[in-house]
Amino acid sequence: MNPSQNPLHPDQDPQSGKRGLLRRLGLIGTLFAAGLLIGLAFFLPREIIWGRVLRATLGHLPNSSWTWQSVGDRGLSRITYTGFDLFLDKTRLFFPELTIQLAPARPVTMQAVTGPTLLADLGWDKTLRFSGGVDMARLLPEQRVQGLVQGEGWVDWADLTSPPLGGEIALHVPGLLIIPPGIMATNLRVQAFLKGNQLTLASIQADGLVALEAEGVVMLDWDKLENSTYSIKGTMSGLSITKPFSASGRLGGVWGQKRS
């Protein structure tokens, strides 16, 4: 994928899902659905409504649970959590600020702020589109990973209760990325394609005193992502020396998690 191109789904139409839904419901069905939503909004506590939104979105992630420190901005279509912890089995993801918004054109929009801002939209077509960045040190506070990661891409599902069908992802770390126990890369660029449980790393490039050009494959374990396996091979060059490079292992082992 050319990083200069928009990696969003090639056939996307932001309004097509909405029009299709209205056609299927018809006038009477649309009025009934609107009345139902208004009734839920006025007669159900907002904590119950937003709890259901969280279960409908984050609840489909493997072995997921979440907590938060406090709630800031809260309304019928928007809520902001501060100090939001998302647990995926044994891995903790921390978002200093997480905002969720509901809208007709995009059922769910999430804005995660870790310093940089990452935007994610879940459309009527069950496609998740995202762009922006994260501070890895704040996102993974217990894993000692450092670096500002920028990314964009899309992932789509046939059924949100099942693993995704496919996707396309482009990542860029303009500065220094540090991953324990001592992996370092400067100006890292990654292009990846998802199909089923296979994530193909079509291009991995990094600059610095030792430059890297490689490709690889990650076989994803959707039930326990830390047990996913990876295999990377390519070449390293620097100080007038070029030599083959290869690495393989378990994803959780990169940050010291034992197999479960």
Q: How far is Cα of residue 250 from the mean position of the Cα atoms in its chain? A: 20
User: How is the chain split into domains, by residue range?
Assistant: 44-255
- The answer for residues whose C-beta is within 8 angstroms of residue 1's C-beta and 6 or more apart is 7, 168, 170, 191, 193, 202
Mean per-residue pLDDT over the chain, rounded: 81
- Cα dist from 154 to 51, 164, 169, whole Å: 25, 11, 7
The residue count for the chain: 260
- Cα dist from 247 to 8, 158, 194, 236, 254, whole Å: 30, 33, 20, 12, 11
Question: How far is residue 146's CA from residue 179's CA, in Å, rounded to a whole number?
Answer: 7
| Tens of pLDDT, residues 228-242 | 999 999 998 877 788
Determine which of 39-43, 55-59, 162-166, 201-205 has the lowest per-residue pLDDT on average.
Answer: 39-43
Q: Is 119 helix (H, G, I), strand (E, B) or coil?
A: strand
Look up the pTM and report it: 0.75
The predicted structure's pLDDT at residue 44: 52
How many separate helices (H) and strands (E) can be counted in the chain?
3, 14
